[in-house]
Amino acid sequence: MSSLDDFRAATRDWLEANCPQSMRTRIVAGEEVNGGSKRRSTNPDAYVWLERMAERGWTVPTWPREYGGGGLDKDQFLILLEELQRIHARPPLGGMGVTMIGPTLLEYGSEEQKLRHLPRIASGEVAWCQGYSEPGAGSDLASLQTKAEDKGDHFLVNGSKIWTSGASHADWIFCLVRTDTAAPKHQGISFLLFSMDSPGVTIKPIELLNGKSPFCQTFFDDVKVPKEDLVHNLNEGWTVAKRLLQHERSGLAALASADTAGPLERIRPELPLGQLAAEYAGGDIEPGLRRDIVSNDMTKQAFHLTQQRTVEESAGGTPGAATSIFKFVEAEYVKAQLELQLRIRGTQGVGWSGDTFTDMELSMARLWLEAKSISIAGGSNEIQLNIIAKRVLGLPD
Ligand SMILES: Cc1cc2nc3c(=O)[nH]c(=O)nc-3n(C[C@H](O)[C@H](O)[C@H](O)COP(=O)(O)OP(=O)(O)OC[C@H]3O[C@@H](n4cnc5c(N)ncnc54)[C@H](O)[C@@H]3O)c2cc1C
């Protein structure tokens, strides 16, 4: 037997013995673990699973061992993914630590920053949030105005961020700030890390129509940030910011992570769409709907195969501008899938409450609305298409 065969056998045995049964199903809302202690999973098994996986470094399988990772090479990583998928294991840890700031620090952090932050991300001890967007800077992110003044041994940060997902549960923030107001806008930005418990940080949850508050407006008044929390060079934060966005889009499209199924699988209805349609239409599915279901399923299959190929080619790393292709295609696929579910269910698909609807019908109606945000979060569709045109296809400005 080759050493890879041994690795597979040992991995299979270990997962069999250590993955709790309740962690072998689709993720249930409220049971996720995204790091930190301010928001707890409702399922205690989630922490058993997290601790066991973190001990082996398998919350971040390809990170070096000294930073809390598993030190797996490409082949071992792919085997681990296959074995996790085989038992339908949930990812032990999600959130912006493992998917966004961790991989970015691996590339751009100082040795001191890596040793300080990465092990605490890998163990799930710390939750992070993203301070990019501002009321006047979304798609045109480089127009951001939050400023950081040089005060010798520290920066003094003033300004505000908006749509800060999970800010009220986060322990730390990675934040884009303006450090040179005279330079061209992309060249006066720096990338800072600071604790959300720092004096001067105020968090105001933004309540949505459905009563949820997934994001906040975040205010900074004279927040002191030590100089050692500057990532990469002063005024070169835009380079770091762009790379982090590639990790974000890669995470959204579930590339290079243990969660290769990603949102595509998470929104999967209990039944394949064809069967769902047969159930609601009593077997008489109109031809237009039939065609759209098939076309949606073909997109899913093609996406899944391309996703697998990319994970294999990228050896656990994150591709560059091509991540925008995955982000765009997935956003469109997911929205189309939910539109189809709505069409199939008819009036049963738009229920908000009441006992004339099943739980599945009620939850899918909310998901249908929520999914509209997928083509905005992490950069809107139009921005992804701009990036694909310029950076992937090489078209002129
Ligand atoms: C669910 C969700 C979670 C989010 N979480 C975070 C977070 O944690 N941290 C954070 O910093 N931000 C977060 N955001 C904010 C997100 O990054 C921005 O909403 C997004 O970048 C768009 O910016 P905007 O909302 O200001 O829209 P605008 O930039 O004002 O865009 C409005 C419309 O104009 C279009 N448009 C703008 N410029 C162009 C152009 N050059 N070419 C063609 N069309 C254009 C856009 O595509 C869009 O349709 C989140 C957003 C959502 C929806």
DSSP string for 167-231:
GGG-SEEEEEEES-SSS-GGGSEEEEEEETTSTTEEEEEEPPTTS---EEEEEEEEEEEEGGGEE
384 Cβ inside 6 Å of ligand 1: no
Residue nearest to atom 5 of ligand 1 (CA): 165
Q: Is 328 exposed, middle or buried (0-12, 13-18, 19+ CB in 10 A)?
A: buried
Beta-strand pair 189-195/201-206: unpaired
**Mean pLDDT lowest for which of 112-116, 207-211, 386-390?**
207-211
Can you read off the two tokens belonging to residue 209? 């129509």
Query: Which residue ranges does the chain devote to CATH 1.20.140.10?
Result: 253-392
373 Cβ inside 6 Å of ligand 1: yes
- What distances in angstroms separate CA 322 from CA 82, 232, 257, 282, 336, one per listed residue? 24, 24, 16, 42, 22
CA of 383 to the centre of ligand 1 (A): 9
Q: CB under 8 Å to 7, separation ≥6 — which residues? A: 76, 79
Each residue's pLDDT tens digit, 194-204: 999 999 999 99
Ligand 1 test: best mutation among 128, 163, 169, 327, most atoms within 8 Å of CB?
163
**Rounded-to-integer distance, Cα 145 and Cα 227, Å:** 20
What phi and psi, each to the nearest 5 degrees, are found at residue 296? -65, -40
Query: Which residue ranges does the chain devote to CATH 1.10.540?
Result: 3-94
Among candidate residues 251, 165, 176, 150, the one with its CA nearest the CA of residue 215: 165
What phi and psi, each to the nearest 5 degrees, are found at residue 223? -80, 125
Q: Is 111 exposed, middle or buried (0-12, 13-18, 19+ CB in 10 A)?
A: exposed
In this prediction, residues 139-168 reach a mean pLDDT of 97
Catalytic sites, residue numbers:
248
User: What confidence score (pLDDT) does residue 258 get?
Assistant: 41
Ligand 1 test: best mutation among 175, 242, 380, 386, most atoms within 8 Å of CB?
380
Query: Which residue ranges does the chain devote to CATH 2.40.110.10?
Result: 128-237
pTM for the whole thing? 0.92
Number of DSSP helices (H) and strands (E) in the chain, helices first: 13, 8
Higher pLDDT, 360 or 231: 231
User: What confidence score (pLDDT) does residue 310 get?
Assistant: 79
Residue nearest to atom 35 of ligand 1 (CA): 382
Q: Where is 279: in which H helix or E strand?
A: helix 273-281
User: What confidence score (pLDDT) does residue 105 get?
Assistant: 98
User: What confidence score (pLDDT) does residue 210 get?
Assistant: 72
Q: What kind of fold does domain 128-237 have according to CATH?
A: Butyryl-CoA Dehydrogenase, subunit A; domain 2 (2.40.110)
Question: Do residues 314 and 246 lie in contact, with contact meaning Cβ atoms separated by under 8 Å?
Answer: no
CATH number of the 3-94 domain: 1.10.540
CA of 345 to the centre of ligand 1 (A): 31
Each residue's pLDDT tens digit, 10-19: 999 999 999 9
Amino acid at 237: G
130 Cβ inside 6 Å of ligand 1: yes
Q: Which residues pair with 219 in a beta bridge?
A: 160, 202
What phi and psi, each to the nearest 5 degrees, are found at residue 229? -95, 15
CA of 161 to the centre of ligand 1 (A): 13
Residue nearest to atom 32 of ligand 1 (CA): 139
Can you read off the two tokens belonging to residue 370? 């929520």
Instruction: Out of 1.10.10.10, 3.40.50.2030, 3.40.640.10, 1.20.140.10, select the CATH number for domain 253-392.
Output: 1.20.140.10
Can you read off the two tokens belonging to residue 257? 């992570």
Question: Do residues 98 and 70 lie in contact, with contact meaning Cβ atoms separated by under 8 Å?
Answer: no
165 Cβ inside 6 Å of ligand 1: yes
CA of 139 to the centre of ligand 1 (A): 5
CA of 211 to the centre of ligand 1 (A): 22
Ligand 1 test: best mutation among 96, 99, 129, 133, most atoms within 8 Å of CB?
133
Confidence band of 371 (pLDDT split at 50, 70, 90): confident
CA of 371 to the centre of ligand 1 (A): 15
> Rounded to an integer, what is the distance from CA 159 to the centroid of its chain?
25
Beta-strand pair 128-131/172-178: parallel
**Mean pLDDT lowest for which of 24-28, 99-103, 236-240, 298-302?**
24-28
**Mean pLDDT lowest for which of 59-63, 167-171, 313-317?**
313-317
